């Protein structure tokens, strides 16, 4: 699902239709996938000069586009 949305740039409605699930479920699953990626990649946050506040701002901006 993450690949469909972020690499294939598939709209949420199309992902939901393809997987035969509700659009809200797609949003929730994508949100959880991004949270898991953030935890897995948190080790690199300091190397990239990112703080918690910057990360939160980026997430808020990203999800406001959905």
Residue ranges covered by each domain of the chain: 2-64
Alpha-carbon distance 66 to 64, whole Å?
A: 6
Q: What is the pLDDT of residue 12?
A: 97
Alpha-carbon distance 58 to 52, whole Å?
A: 10
- Look over the chain and give the mean of its residue pLDDT values, rounded to a whole number: 84
Alpha-carbon distance 16 to 2, whole Å?
A: 12
**Is the pLDDT at 32 greater than 70, yes or no?**
yes
Range from 11-15, 24-28, 36-40, 51-55 carrying the lowest mean pLDDT: 51-55
pLDDT mean over 40-55: 75
Q: Is 37 helix (H, G, I), strand (E, B) or coil?
A: helix
**Is the pLDDT at 59 greater than 70, yes or no?**
no
> Is-above-0.75 flag for pTM?
no
């Amino acid at each position: 699902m993450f690949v469909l949305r972020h690499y294939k740039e598939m709209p949420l409605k199309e992902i939901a239709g393809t997987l035969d699930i509700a659009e809200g479920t797609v949003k929730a699953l994508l949100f959880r996938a991004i949270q898991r990626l953030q935890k897995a990649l948190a080790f690199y946050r300091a190397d990239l000069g990112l703080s918690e506040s910057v990360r939160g701002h980026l997430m808020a901006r990203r999800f406001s586009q959905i």
